[in-house]
Structure 1
Amino acid sequence: MRIHHLNCGSLRKIPPLGGERRTGAAPGQLATVCHCLLIETDSDGLVLVDTGLGTADRRDPEGTLGADWVAYAQPARDPEESALQQIIHLGYAPQDVRHIVLTHLHRDHTGGLPDFPRARVHVHPAEYRAVTDPDSPHHQHSLDRFMPAHRAHGPLLTPAVAEDGAQWFGFPGVARPQGLACELLLVPLPGHSAGHSGVAVRDDAGRWLLHAGDAYMYHGEIEQTPPLSHPAFAPVQHGAQTDIEARVATRDRLHALHRDHGDQVTVFSAHDPWELARFTTPTSA
């Protein structure tokens, strides 16, 4: 199994705060990223974790993403950044992506769904209920965030299966995507969206990666004590969250996970460019 770390959408630039670890990334301001994973598996084809911005988002960003969001986020329009083009450059066809696993259904995570219309799309059952059940207290909020252009093709949205009492490093409510043989889990990380989850995948060496989505947005939040937030991300976190107390509690649990199990789990978020650089910048011998 091979895991690729992809940037599937460059957004507005943000400055460093001065405490970034050496990553090999260019100094100064960096573009916010949409950090996705592409997993090559033996049994399940290609599995894409989050999709970033899609090809249509780059052709008509105001039409698919919303003019206000575009004005704030300032997404780049480079078609080569789409998951579709990056997968083609790796020698695969779009239909080789058989499964997409989403941390949540916000626009900067779902934009690539129309590029892979045959893929089964897995979300945590709480996120699935929020967007499909009119009786859910979060239904309208969730539906508003799941952009019409990203769901017009009728994605094969599928709730993962929660196992009674299942935990992952003490995180409860863990769910398994249906039909996936590889070791991949949806781990509830509540607060940002109604059913926001991290995606945990174990690599061939037995080490876990946890894609924490938008549970936090800057590495200082889980690596420093007390947690250090980035002021550029604060309005995004506060504007999108469904439950501030749950979000802060989730951040604190991830801080403890990084502190206590950093030798077993590598945690990263969706938008921190310095975290992405740790995976994508070649290291010198």
Structure 2
Amino acid sequence: MNMWEVHAVKYADRNARTRRDSFIFDDNHDAPHAMDYFMWVLRRGDQIVLVDTGYDNDEAAARGRPIRLDPRAALQPLGIDPADVTNVIVTHLHYDHAGGLHLFPNATLHLQAAEMAFATGPCMCHDTLRAPFTAGHICEAIQRLYSGKVVFHDGDAELAEGITVHRIGGHSRGLQAVRVMTGAGWMVLASDAAHFYENLFARKPFPIVVDMQDMLDGFDRLRQLASKPELIIPGHDPLVRNYFPAGVADHIFRLDPGPIRKIPT
């Protein structure tokens, strides 16, 4: 099996946060706790699969959460033209993962059916559940559906040799993780199934949760999917930038060789 390159592309960060924003059942709840925002690029030869799209400057202004790089500019050092991206895995439809769908007009979206049902169903009558979603992003996904450019998955599925998706749920109803065969073994892009290493390894749930059991069971599922625990990549942890080598630009990190220092698991 040919291996995939995996690149973590940081496009934003948010430092004005505390641990209460990241963990339930944490005694040190007032301590600062920063968050990074990533997209991920899977590359094998001339094949490119983008995992999530980030969000753009309009969304940043609407939410008061500035971005450092427009997603298109963030991908430029990897030589990726957004018009040439033909496959995007959408781990879930929250604004920071699906806020750039419109920037990749020729892409087919790979999405769990449960996520579309959740984002367009009666749960969205509740302000709290609706808050991480933006209506325009959901409308973009629906327009893509009616253009024949959405592939729905129901649980586990293989997208290509060496790439599989797996519904985890918990944080959002149809949240999916992505498993990728790399030179270091099966790597799992957890996305928001584990925002931080500490969510996963200390089993501390993230506060935005739809189903607590699914979130906790998901921590075990991530371990089962990865060849080893240090190949589980959390969705928002700044520590990723310490554990993995720099890539072709300061905001890009190369994941597929594996970590360059020991990750406490």
Deviation at 1:220, TM superposition (A): 2.4
TM-score (norm 1): 0.67
Which residues of structure 2 form unaligned runs of 5+?
A: 20-30, 248-259
1:149 aligns with 2:139: no
Q: Corresponding residue for 1:104?
A: 92
Deviation at 1:272, TM superposition (A): 0.8
Q: How far apart, in 2, do the equivalents of 1:101 and 1:140 lie?
A: 26
1:126 aligns with 2:126: no
1:4-43 alignment to 2 at 5 Å?
4-13=7-16, 31-42=34-45
Deviation at 1:250, TM superposition (A): 1.8
Q: How far apart, in 1, do the equivalents of 2:200 and 2:170 lie?
A: 16
Q: Corresponding residue for 1:158?
A: 150
Q: How far apart, in 2, do the equivalents of 1:241 and 1:220 lie?
A: 16
Contact 2:188 2:232 (C-alpha < 8 Å) held by counterparts: yes
Q: Corresponding residue for 1:47?
A: 49
Percent sequence identity over matched residues? 24
1:184-263 alignment to 2 at 5 Å?
184-203=163-182, 205=183, 207-223=185-201, 227=202, 229=204, 237-238=206-207, 240-254=208-222, 256-257=223-224, 261-262=227-228
Q: How far apart, in 2, do the equivalents of 1:140 and 1:188 lie?
A: 23
Q: Corresponding residue for 1:168?
A: none
Which residues of structure 1 form unaligned runs of 5+?
A: 17-27, 163-172
Contact 1:37 1:48 (C-alpha < 8 Å) held by counterparts: yes
Question: Higher relative contact order by CA 8 Å / sep ≥ 6: 1 or 2?
Answer: 2
Q: How far apart, in 2, do the equivalents of 1:150 and 1:102 lie?
A: 12
TM-score (norm 2): 0.72
Q: How far apart, in 2, do the equivalents of 1:130 and 1:270 lie?
A: 21
Contact 1:2 1:40 (C-alpha < 8 Å) held by counterparts: yes
Deviation at 1:198, TM superposition (A): 0.6
Write out per-residue CA displacement over residues 158-216 of structure 1, whole angstroms, 9 at most, x where no aligned residue: 24344xxxxxxxxxx31234xxx34211112121111111111112x271111111112
- Secondary structure of the 1:36 match is strand
Deviates more, 1:95-104 or 1:275-284: 275-284
Q: How far apart, in 2, do the equivalents of 1:129 and 1:152 lie?
A: 13
1:176 aligns with 2:158: yes
Tell me the amino acid that sits aligned with residue 86 of structure 1.
A
Q: How far apart, in 2, do the equivalents of 1:206 and 1:187 lie?
A: 20
Deviation at 1:94, TM superposition (A): 1.4
- Pick the aligned partner of 2:66 from 63, 71, 76: 76
Compute the RMSD of aligned alpha carbons.
3.2
Q: How far apart, in 2, do the equivalents of 1:159 and 1:128 lie?
A: 11
